[in-house]
Amino acid sequence: MTLKRLFSYVCVVAAGVGAVTPVAGFGAEPAGAPPQKAAAAEKADNKPSAEERQSVTKHSVTTAGGRTIAYTATAGTLTLKGENGTPEASMFYVAYVADGAKTANRPVTFFYNGGPGSSSIWLHMASFGPRRVPIALGMKAGSAAPLAPNPQTLLGETDMVFLDAIGTGYSDVLDASFGKNYWGNDQDAASFAQAIRRYLEKNDRWASPKYLFGESYGTTRSAITALKLHDSGVHLNGVILMSSILNFAQRAPGLDRMAINQVPTYAATAWHHGKIARQGSLTDHVERARRFASGPYSAALAKGHWLGDEERNNVAREMAELTGLSPEYLIRSDLQVMPDRFRKELMRAEGTVVGGLDTRFTGSEADGTAEAAATDPTENSIAGPIISAFNGYIARDLGYKSNQPYYPGSRIRNMFALWDWSHRPPYGARQNAMADVAIDLAEVMRRNPSMRVLSMSGYYDLSTPFFATEYDLSHMMLPADLRANLTERYYESGHMIYLDEKSLVSARTDIAQFLTGH
């Protein structure tokens, strides 16, 4: 799967080992200001340590509104302990805290990517932090994209803490035998809940408004973690879900729901690339695809091999008009086209494959006759600039020294095979083999009626299609008063909504409104 390839990146970033004074315009004070010396830890080991480390530096950033924010950046580790109090793991984090603010009124938001098996490098380096790698739509692999001040940072609204899951980034278990305690749905969420509590304790942020921000599998993590935090006395003010996957059971082989979920994204992609006769706007076309997917298409798939020829032909013809695929191809596919086949087939005549994480990206492959896409042009375009930027930034600007390599993805090559995909729901005695964590999110919303949820989805995301998110959220069965706490927003973007400037600005506006309540 495309998502797995990106978040299990095998390349590593070897962080620099020499502390360098930040320079003006690149993670530093403005020109003419006294240089800030990093309070970097002296010790640099090849193995993680139970001793918590940190490097503290001072910086400033100017927002799009012209406000200059002085802030403190802390790169460090949080020690996680087992049930018996034995240190088991070290979680790396980078925190950005505005100077001079009263912490009792100042929100703090915890950010992380997903995978499972991804560090937070993608959100950290490309979204709402004070420094950002500018990724442009259509950018080709090898293009220069130097790290720059980010006027779209959320630092004006919230302090930001980026957390790396155990086994990614600089985060790791202290002994290999502890891995089983962290590599699973519930185990992972427990580690994040513990790390968040530790950060709150260490920095006296118990009174601050508290938010979670997860992307992709990070939304799975957020749903479970939110309930675990609530049960431990940490009540959240809100949860932000970007590109959600809340119910893994929908993806089980043999179920129709996976095929149904993809159709509106296929339609949006065909609209973007001009593969259908456009009638109205993108949202108009997507709405027609929604109605088709939940109506005639769903009814046809439910009949299985009892579906009659006339109905099959009618459904194939309507689906072709929406998705740009030929009726003949759809019939040969039994009306069900998996994402990698769609990405290959849509623009096969042009010798072009479309992206999976973001279907607006395009590229080419050596085998033009293959049934399915083997690569993702999105990955090829974005990974290099982001990883390269982090490589210099962490040591040079944040003063964090380590002889360990930084793993953008998992340091465990077979993380997916080792992962415990089961989940214990909030009620019932059974451990479910496949997680549906929308149940957990609904439960914490019931227990904490003040907690709000913001769901953010991209029209061009085939990894976590927005129609699946709509289905999951609508099946939380919330009463009317709690449904008012759930906000859904959509963007003309892909899985990583923040990649292009237009979507970044729109997303930032929505998040700022969510955090400030207006």
Q: Give 339-371 pLDDT, tens digit per residue.
A: 999 999 999 999 999 999 999 999 999 999 999
Neighbours of 12 (CB within 10 A): 15
pLDDT category at 130 given cuts 50, 70, 90 is very high
pLDDT for 447 equals 97
pLDDT at residue 57 in the model: 98
Domain that holds residue 494: 59-250+406-516
Task: Give the percent of the chain with pLDDT over 90.
Answer: 76
Verify that 215 and 261 share a domain, yes or no. no
In angstroms, the CA 285 to CA 264 distance is 9
In angstroms, the Cα distances linking 487 to 197, 214, 284, 366 are 27, 15, 20, 43
Is residue 313 situated within a structural domain?
yes
Q: In this structure, are residues 120 and 129 in contact, taking their beta carbons and an 8 Å threshold?
A: no
Task: Give the residues across from 81 on adjacent strands.
Answer: 87
Mapped onto helix, strand or coil, the DSSP state of residue 24 is coil
The answer to whether residues 440 and 296 belong to one domain is: no
Query: Structural domain tally of the chain?
Result: 2
Q: Are residues 112 and 231 both part of a single domain?
A: yes
- Is residue 217 included in any domain, yes or no? yes
Q: What is the pLDDT of residue 18?
A: 29
Q: What is the pLDDT of residue 144?
A: 58
In this structure, the answer to whether residues 220 and 330 fall within a common structural domain is no
Q: Are residues 289 and 357 in the same domain?
A: yes
How far is residue 508's CA from residue 155's CA, in Å, rounded to a whole number?
A: 11
412, part of any domain: yes
Short-list 221, 206, 226, 236, CA closest to 123: 221
Going by the DSSP 8-state scheme, the letter that residue 297 receives in this structure is I
Answer yes or no: is 49 within a domain.
Answer: no
| DSSP annotation of 294 | I
Do 156 and 293 belong to one domain? no
Tokens 């492959």 appear where? 365
Is residue 63 scored above 60 in pLDDT?
yes
Q: How confident is the model at residue 29 (pLDDT cuts 50, 70, 90)?
A: very low
Integer angstrom CA distances of residue 48 from 93, 195, 405: 14, 16, 11
N- to C-terminal Cα distance for the chain?
Answer: 39
Is the model's pLDDT at 146 over the cut of 90? no
Q: What angle, rounded to 10 degrees, do the helices at 257-272 and 309-323 form?
A: 40
Is residue 156 situated within a structural domain? yes
Alpha carbon distance 35, 57 (integer Å): 10
**β-strand pairing of 87-98 with 172-173:** antiparallel
Q: What is the pLDDT of residues 285-328, one digit of tens each?
A: 999 999 999 999 999 999 999 999 999 999 999 999 999 999 99
Q: Are residues 420 and 508 in the same domain?
A: yes
Rounded Cα gap, residues 446 and 479, in angstroms: 9
pLDDT in tens, 419-462: 999 999 998 778 888 889 999 999 999 999 999 999 999 999 99
Q: What is the pLDDT of residues 160-195, one digit of tens each?
A: 999 999 999 999 999 999 999 999 999 999 999 999
3-class SS of residue 436: strand
Co-location of 123 and 90 in the same domain: yes
In a domain, 260, yes or no: yes
Amino acid at 80: L
pLDDT score recorded for residue 66 = 95
Give the position of tokens 């200059």.
68
Q: What angle do CA 82, 403, 5 make, to 5 degrees?
A: 75
The answer to whether residues 228 and 91 belong to one domain is: yes
C-alpha 462, offset from chain centre: 13
pTM comes to: 0.90
How sure is the predictor about 224, in pLDDT bands with cuts at 50, 70 and 90? very high
pLDDT at 40 over 50: no
Read off the CATH number of the domain in which 204 is found.
Answer: 3.40.50.1820
Q: How confident is the model at residue 23 (pLDDT cuts 50, 70, 90)?
A: very low
